[in-house]
Amino acid sequence: MPDGVNLSRRSLFRGRLSAPRPEVQLPWSVSWTDFVADCTRCGDCLTACPEQILVKGDGGFPTVDFQRGECTFCGECVSACQAPVFRPTTQTPWDYVAHIEAGCLASAQVFCQRCQDSCEQQAIRFSPQLGRVPTPSIHTESCNGCGACVADCPVGSIRVGAPHQGSST
């Protein structure tokens, strides 16, 4: 994508006044406004990610795709970037957490605990219920938002986003 593309004009033609903020930004990234202002969309972070979960999003800005895997918080995207769009990796990478949506197999009385099995932080727990399959909940204090559970969910009913947006705790 050419460096001279004016996103505000392009977005105006699409009916938007600014580049849309993705649900999940890159770990350690600055505010979306500052990120859009300084990101060159060069793709260095995309190629540096060993997990290959970073993809070009709207406007060519990098975003996270948890369908491709989990974030290991290795910091390679930060190291590869020459633009001032990241905070120091000594800080918390983000405050995103997993959310279990209504389409979860447990709500249909189908036994599945793949998300719990994939959660290294042990933030997903299943509570036994009399006469029903165990139901999942997210312990948001333990969840680091890595997204390992997202790709493992066979029905796609887990998303990662800001905390307290319909969180299942």
User: Residue 74 annotated as binding?
Assistant: yes
User: Residue 77 annotated as binding?
Assistant: yes
User: Residue 119 annotated as binding?
Assistant: no
Residue pair 57/64 in contact (Cβ under 8 Å)? The answer is no
User: Residue 112 annotated as binding?
Assistant: no
User: Residue 143 annotated as binding?
Assistant: yes
User: Residue 45 annotated as binding?
Assistant: yes
Q: For 34-131, where are the E strands, in sequence order?
A: 54-56, 62-64, 97-100, 124-129
Question: Please, what sign has the CA dihedral across residues 49, 52, 56, 62?
Answer: negative
User: Residue 81 annotated as binding?
Assistant: yes
Residue pair 96/162 in contact (Cβ under 8 Å)? The answer is yes
Cα angle, residue 28 at apex, residues 40 and 142 outer, rounded to 5°: 150
Binding site for [4Fe-4S] cluster, by residue number, is 39, 42, 45, 49, 71, 74, 77, 81, 143, 146, 149, 153
Tell me the binding residues.
39, 42, 45, 49, 71, 74, 77, 81, 143, 146, 149, 153
